[in-house]
Amino acid sequence: MIIYACVEEVEFDLLDNNICSYQCPLPCWESQYQYVISSSQWPSNNYMPFLKESLDERGDDMKKVMEADTRTGLSQQFLKMVVYYDNLNFYKYTERPTMTTKDLIGALGGHLGLWIGMSVISFIEVFELIITLIKWCARGGRSNKTSSLTDLDEKSRRADECPTPVLKFKESWVNDD
């Protein structure tokens, strides 16, 4: 009984897609048929004379069936089955990897190139910082870009000593003042 209960539990899990939904691959081939059942009384009143005539031509065995003269008698003796396809569509599902080996190598190369490029730029910046620190220590901790107020005053004095521009107006030299 325990084995039967285990098998039954696994079968129910398979039917509910609890087991194979995450780990099992797609089936290689699967056929699914959708069906609709409909029925009606056969033969109809209009078709009854044609059926009786056809049965008369077939022989003695069919004449016994004809003795059931009523429509319900014939309909209980015969069955007409017609199968119609709902649709004739065919679906083909293929399973392919989302990333090929070539795509994987390309992606890894792109990421590696990005990180190496960033590493080279970082290395150059660290190298530049070390050189700047060595230069600063060699000067004794002084910056090269110092300017005093006297230097600024001297530059402004030189600007004041420049001659004023003159304009030429009607063939005579006129001062701008």
CB burial of residue 43 (10 Å; 0-12, 13-18, 19+) = middle
Average pLDDT in the chain: 73
What's the domain count of the chain? 2
**Is residue 36 assigned to a domain?**
yes
* Structure tokens given for 122: 């970082």
Stated as kind and residue range, the H or E segment containing 173 is strand 172-175
Q: Is the pLDDT of residue 69 over 70?
A: no
Q: Are residues 68 and 24 in the same domain?
A: yes
Residue 70: band (very low, low, confident or very high) from pLDDT cuts 50, 70, 90: low
Q: Is the pLDDT of residue 36 over 60?
A: yes
Structural domain boundaries enclosing 62: 2-77
**Is residue 147 assigned to a domain?**
yes
Q: Are residues 68 and 129 in the same domain?
A: no
Whole-number pLDDT of residue 132? 92
Residue 43: band (very low, low, confident or very high) from pLDDT cuts 50, 70, 90: confident
Q: How much is the average pLDDT of 47-73?
A: 70
* % of the chain beyond a pLDDT of 90: 10
Distances from the Cα of 59 to the Cα of 19, 52, 53, angstroms: 59, 12, 11
- pLDDT tens by residue, 96-144: 888 889 999 999 988 888 888 878 888 899 999 999 999 989 888 766 5
Q: How much is the average pLDDT of 146-169?
A: 57
Single residue among 28, 53, 77 that ends a domain in this structure: 77
Distances from the Cα of 124 to the Cα of 17, 120, 130, 134, angstroms: 58, 6, 10, 15
Q: Are residues 9 and 55 in the same domain?
A: yes
Whole-number pLDDT of residue 160? 56
